[in-house]
Amino acid sequence: MSADDGAERIWPPVDYSVGRENIRQFVEASGERRVIYKDSKVSGEAGFRDVVAPPMFAAVYCWRSVRPALADAGIDMTRILHTSQEFVWSEPVCAGDTITTVAELRDRAGSKKASTYVLGTVSHNQEGDEVSRGTWTILVKGG
């Protein structure tokens, strides 16, 4: 089934409150070493409002909208393989921001063996500024 066959669907926005601890945990888990992502003084000297999040932190706040979209589409989460993701970043994300993300199903194609879902995300901060756009490609075993 393709988006032309009615696969397109948009889910309600999901908010994510970015905290210093969230950024710290991501930085630690990802092995990021740059001090700008760890120290509010260094981030401030670089012109950011607070501790700035690494760009790939987008995976954290976007996943909050992607996961419910997959579940709502009836996808068994134990059968998925996350095959790719791409992001385009705009405004930086900092501790204290509230990020609102909308997920949409852009395309679906499949057979009895497997289906591929392509989802898109668009995220904005509390000021309404776009912070990222994402494309998520997910393979579901068993159609």
pLDDT tens for 53-83 read: 999 999 999 999 999 888 887 888 899 998 9
Could you give the domains of the chain?
3-18+55-141 (3.10.129.10)
**How confident is the prediction for the chain on average, in pLDDT?**
92
Q: Residue 137 above 90 pLDDT?
A: yes
Q: Please state, in angstroms and as integers, the Cα–Cα distance from residue 62 to each residue in 35, 47, 79, 130, 138, following that order.
A: 24, 25, 20, 13, 14
Quick: pLDDT tens for 5-38. Answer: 445 789 999 999 999 999 999 999 999 999 999 9
